[in-house]
Structure 1
Amino acid sequence: MAELIPFEEVAHLFEEFEHTAWRLETQRGYASDRLSPSWGRFQRGEAFSYNSDNPWHTSVRRQTEQGKRFERVRLVDDPPTEGQRFLLASGLGNVEAGEDIRNMYRAEAHRLGLPDYDFWLFDSRIVMKFVIDDRDETLGVYVLEDAETVVQACQARDRAWHYAIATTEFQAQVPSTV
């Protein structure tokens, strides 16, 4: 097994990929979200949109303008947890920046046999698998390039993407998100 490394050590992959960066998000909430200034905005019911001061938004916009794709599928419980409602609301800024974010109910993900862990898949050849503890904190990631892991991630991506629903359409099904 690969070595568990801090996420920050591989953040360069978000700039260096050539074509696609795809993520599966499986958690019911993330500690980093609850610690962010945006959490308070969410709690107050404020709207989220593209923010040119947000480094993620700026990077996504710059790279999507170059033809790269950022995509993700988020699993959502029914009813959504507070953390999932936060992601539905705050994700609108990511979508405006150029990310294609789709959502899927967790029951559908189970039916499709999707993994129960978060990962990024870069250019269908590098998998960044997250290790997250029971307090929703990221402990680190594994960077994996072996054929079996990559093929499994590609298959999960294809199954998830086919059935997932665009964020704005999904929000219409969950009107209490914003």
Structure 2
Amino acid sequence: MSSIPEFGELLAGAERSAVHLEMRDSYFSNPRFEAWKQGHRADWDDRPSWWRSFHQQIADAVERGVRIRRARIISEPVSEYIRWEHYVTRANVEAGELVRWLPRHRTADLLVPGCDFWIFDDRLIRVHHFSGDGDWESKELREDPSIVQMSSAAFETIWERATPHDEYEVK
């Protein structure tokens, strides 16, 4: 497809579910990660200081009945980037997202997709492509039912095995 809708548009069109699989130990750097590395911590009591438009999009979708789940496959011990992601995931959870963590060593017997993705309503998959150092490269949108079903099945298997965010301890 030549024109791929932005995430917010896809989420706004979701009616029942949105699932996200992340499998990298680091992604492109950003100012919030860099600040965290310098010792900056969120003031969780000051919601406007950390609440972003992404969190509002999640909250709006959850309010209209969309179940949003994110599973992260991670190496242990975790990278500095994953340590930061675990810390800031509190914002995702407060927006209404369900998040789970699965150590990579517990996936040896699973068939795992090669790319991160979002699946909306079990009918549409947005695949994300990154370079080896975690820089964003591209995205693609697929509606092929066999690809969506295969990716959904993989996500569900990962989700069942993964540890809920509030129970996972960063190692």
Q: TM-score, normalised by structure 1?
A: 0.84
In structure 2, how many angstroms separate the alpha carbons of the residues matched to 1:87 and 1:64?
21
Post-superposition CA distance 1:88-119 (Å, at most 9, x none): 11111110110001000011123222223201
SS in 2 for 1:102: strand
How is 1:7-156 mapped onto 2 (pairs within 5 angstroms)? 9-11=5-7, 12-31=9-28, 34-41=29-36, 43-44=38-39, 46-47=41-42, 49=44, 51-52=47-48, 53-156=51-154
In structure 2, how many angstroms separate the alpha carbons of the residues matched to 1:141 and 1:13?
13
Residue 166 (structure 1) aligns with: 164
| TM superposition outliers: structure 1 runs of 4+ over 3 Å | 47-53
Displacement after TM superposition at 1:77 (Å):
0.7
Q: Does the 8 Å CA contact 2:36/2:84 hold for their aligned counterparts?
A: no
Q: Does the 8 Å CA contact 1:48/1:90 hold for their aligned counterparts?
A: no
Displacement after TM superposition at 1:72 (Å):
0.6
- After superposition, the Cα gap between the structure-2 partners of 1:71 and 1:113, relative to the gap in structure 1 and judged at 3 Å, is same
Displacement after TM superposition at 1:154 (Å):
1.2
Deviates more, 1:135-144 or 1:98-107: 135-144
Q: Does the 8 Å CA contact 2:75/2:104 hold for their aligned counterparts?
A: yes
Displacement after TM superposition at 1:22 (Å):
0.2
Displacement after TM superposition at 1:86 (Å):
1.2
Q: Does the 8 Å CA contact 1:70/1:99 hold for their aligned counterparts?
A: yes
- After superposition, the Cα gap between the structure-2 partners of 1:43 and 1:111, relative to the gap in structure 1 and judged at 3 Å, is farther
SS in 1 for 2:107: helix
Q: TM-score, normalised by structure 2?
A: 0.88
Gaps of 5+ in 2: none
Gaps of 5+ in 1: none
In structure 1, how many angstroms separate the alpha carbons of the residues matched to 2:153 and 2:57?
27
